Structure 1
Amino acid sequence: MHWLTSGGESASLSVVRDAYRDQGGSWRDAPVPGGSAARAAAVNRILGGNPPPVFLFSLGNQLNELSTHGLIIPAPGADEEWDRVLPPLLARSAKYQGRYMAAPLNIHGENWMFYNAGLLRQAGLAVPRTWAEFLDAAARLKAMGKIPIAMGGQPWQERLLFNAVLLGVGGRDFYRRLYETLDPAALDSPALLETFRTFAALRPFVDEGSPGRRWNQATAMLMRGDAAFQFMGDWAKGDIRAAGLEPGVQIGCALSPAPEPAYIMVVDAFAFTQPRDAETAKAQERFVSVMMEPGVQARLNQAKGSIPVRTDVPGDGFDICARQAMELIRDPATHLASTGLFGLPGGMAGAVDDAVSQFWNDPRLTPEQGRDLLRRSILAFR
């Protein structure tokens, strides 16, 4: 079971499927569009007594909950090599009571700023390096009749933009204080207030058609030249490639403006249920072995726009954006966890999304009210 249904996602899964079949495996897909729907469908099947032997999930607290209740088994074939080749943050998050409970597929970065290089040249604009520069550029683009920010109006997309701003205003240590240690001082800080001020200043640069728009529809706006920027995870590169464009060329990429390099990670991973027979157990182990092969890791991530979970995969064949990310994550200090599924408990993650979305969609709310809304949302689950 999986949610890999867009162009780039489907191409990446095909890499694993073809390699698996080449080794004699039999494959049957059960796609469910949308991560949230697919995760819910997998859990429902498990609870209903018809568990999928292999299903896509995400590292984080929801996976730990499945482990706690004994609904999944340790990843077949996981060994000490994983400790050596996986980034430390990813390895810690994939384990429960010292055992790997999922096989990570890829590493995505959430804090990317994609841009239409031709539009920026036409406007005579350099790539913004600060949020102040971005606001100036956005105003200039809007005056030209262009949509500065291609954005889908869904809470998780709004949260991606908010967290990019938060990282840009406060830096990575502030990000950790807010989301990892839940520091009350950070929740009541001037830096968080400034984050909401900057976030609010971006509202006029999103078009009226944003509400309900999917992320790949916003990416299409960027590729057509209808919009200049998109703040989105690097899964957008899969669709950019599928459209025959080269990430880093026609569609440029840069990390969102921030005072120091950081990578907000989200990791897709496959989990496994108790096999019904020896043949299924062997198939699960073959699946993990195939997916973790360095060559398969390279090809599937090139198709998807993500980077390999193995740090020993060379950068040959990857686009310039991915090579930048692969080099960046060699420094563990740059690793940050996504608040969507990776870093916060499920209830708190949803509360953060709700607070951010409520502020974004109600221009009457002041930055002070936004900060208070987020603070109360997080402390309610602390």
Structure 2
Amino acid sequence: MASLNKRVSQWIIGGVLATYSLAVSASDVEVLHWWTSAGEAKAASVLREGIEQQGHQWQDFAVGGRAGISAMNTLRIRAISGNPPLAAQIKGPEITEWARLGFLRNLNEIAEAEHWEEKIPAPLRDVMQYQGNYVAAPINIHRVNWLWVNLRAFEAANADIPTDFDSFFSAADKLQQAGFIPIALGGEPWQVATLFDSLALSVLGPQDYQRAFLDFDRKALLSDDVVKAFTLLAKMRQYVDDTGQGRNWSDTTRLLIDNQAGMQVMGDWAKGEFFAADQQEGKAFTCVAFPGTKKAFSYNVDSFVFFKPNSQSERQSQTDMASYLLTPQFQRDFNRYKGSLPIRFDVPLPKGDRCAQQSRDAFIYAQENDTLSPSMSHGLSTTRYVQSAVFDVINEFFYKPEQTPREATEALYRAILSAQA
């Protein structure tokens, strides 16, 4: 474990300094998040409206880009300078990091009053706590291991919806021959890692996936199955377009919406983009579990933390927001736009949303059968130090074909060891 001074230095060096107004009145609620796409913006508006209905003034602190990495870099600068926002979107082990440094408010009083123990699924409670105390409020559950299918392209290419890797690559060939981009992939490191994440989950299976990317077991990380996952990743190079490097995820989803691409491997936040574009599931697009992962569930959870307030009015603003996050109304409306599952399973899903129903069924099955896996590529299974090291290895392999899958596997193991030091 790195020392506190080393971590603080890394936070500052790794941060991207931006200029924001520091004058925030006591009744304002400044909220850091990275919801900037069309679907995400609609979801964020639900939170804004709820806060304003309680008599507070929403102060938007949106920092888009790189799946939240840019937002976290900026937040570190604000926190170290003594000026954090009242609330911030933080997830996974990052919650523990901030709590350990003493920045976060204890939410036990709110959790008890709102009966969080009854509303939050058991596997997700520990992530929201530090030393037995609630320090974060979860708002949803995303399934990462989805394959999104443009039904118009599949019909034009006479391709079948994939159920395994043979049918996946057969569909990719047909889509390519018909003039479509077979696999829509933005060249950001986290997007390539998301693709590898689903490949690893498929090939290793949930138990060995957890041994490799949660426990960092040497045997699992150096196994032939990880080599196979890299081999499949290499095969996918020929099916992506050559203009995708640096393209964000929502613009990549747009390739399916605009009927230019056939498939995208992405979490169900992509569904929010389809709905924002007035696309209908079952007609324009559909969702299927990534090949080999039908009975698995790789999850990502959005959550908010609240920095220690400077006044009673700030504390009340935080209390009102935290209490609102798990209300049925917010859970229903926010997650309809976000594409995710409500964290509360007693909240009904949108009528006719088959993807949401499949996701809830898959979560319940995975929870009951121990195939529920925190996503490596989305920071739920490990620290950002390890995550960054994994991203570097996967992207170097994907964009440098001269490296062999075995070499990439060994490089991945070494990178994880180094990042843990």
Do these two structures clear the TM 0.5 threshold for a shared fold by scoring above it? yes
TM superposition shift of 1:40: 1.9
Which of the numbers 335, 338, 341 marks the counterpart of 1:301?
335
Aligned counterparts of 2:282 and 2:328: Cα–Cα separation in 1: 24
Residue 62 (structure 1) aligns with: 94
TM-score normalized by the length of structure 1: 0.96
Structure 1 contact 114–254 (Cα < 8 Å) conserved: yes
> 1:368 — aligned with what?
406
Q: 1:266 aligns with which of 292, 300, 314?
A: 300
The corresponding residue for 2:44 is 13
Give the C-alpha shift of residue 127 in structure 1.
1.1
The answer to whether the 8 A contact 2:159-2:175 is kept is no
**Match of 2:57, SS?**
coil
2:267 partner amino acid: G
Correspondence 1:334 to 2:371: yes
The answer to whether structure 1 residue 208 and structure 2 residue 245 are counterparts is no
Distance 2:36 2:242 in 1: 27
Partners of 1:157 and 1:166 in 2: CA distance: 14
Deviation of residue 315 (structure 1)?
2.0
Q: Contact 1:187–1:375 (CA<8 Å) still a contact in 2?
A: yes
Q: Where do residues 10-89 of structure 1 align in structure 2 (5 Å cutoff)?
A: 10-34=41-65, 35-58=68-91, 60-75=92-107, 77-79=110-112, 81-89=115-123
Partner residue in 2 for 1:102 = 136
Give the secondary structure class of the aligned counterpart of 1:230. Answer: strand
Give the deviation of 1:379 after TM superposition: 2.5
- What displacement does 1:118 show? 1.3
Once residues 326 and 12 of structure 1 are traced to their aligned partners in structure 2, the CA distance between those partners, rounded to angstroms, is 19
Residue 280 of structure 1: how far off its partner (Å): 1.0
Q: Residue 176 of structure 1 aligns with which residue?
A: 210
CA shift digits 1:228-267 (9 cap, x unpaired):
0011111111111111112443111111111551121111
Corresponding residue number in structure 2 for 1:231: 265
- The SS at the match of 1:30 is strand
Q: Show structure 1 runs of 5+ residues with no match.
A: none
Distance between the aligned counterparts of 2:328 and 2:352, measured in 1?
A: 13
Percent identity for Structure 1 against Structure 2: 34
Number of the residue aligned with 2:387: 349
Q: Please give the root-mean-square deviation of Cα atoms over the aligned residues, in Å.
A: 1.6
Question: Which stretch shifts more, 231-240 or 14-23?
Answer: 14-23
Which structure 2 residues correspond to residues 116-265 of structure 1 after superposition, within 5 A?
116-258=150-292, 260-265=294-299
Q: What SS does the corresponding residue of 2:115 show, helix, strand or coil?
A: helix
1:178-237 CA-to-partner distances (Å, cap 9, x unmatched) read 112211111221111111111111110001101111111111111111110011111111
Q: Which amino acid aligns with 1:173?
A: Q
Aligned match of 2:34: 3
Q: 1 CA distance for matches of 2:352 and 2:78?
A: 37
* Runs of 5+ consecutive residues of structure 2 not aligned to the other structure: 1-31
Secondary structure of residue in 1 paired with 2:103: coil
Measure how far apart 1:367 and its partner are.
1.3
Amino acid at match of 2:34: W
2:156–2:178 CA contact under 8 A, matched in 1: no
Contact map agreement 1:111 1:256 (CA 8 A) in 2 = yes
**Which residue identity lines up with residue 414 of structure 2 in the other structure?**
R
Structure 2: distance between partners of 1:11 and 1:115: 23
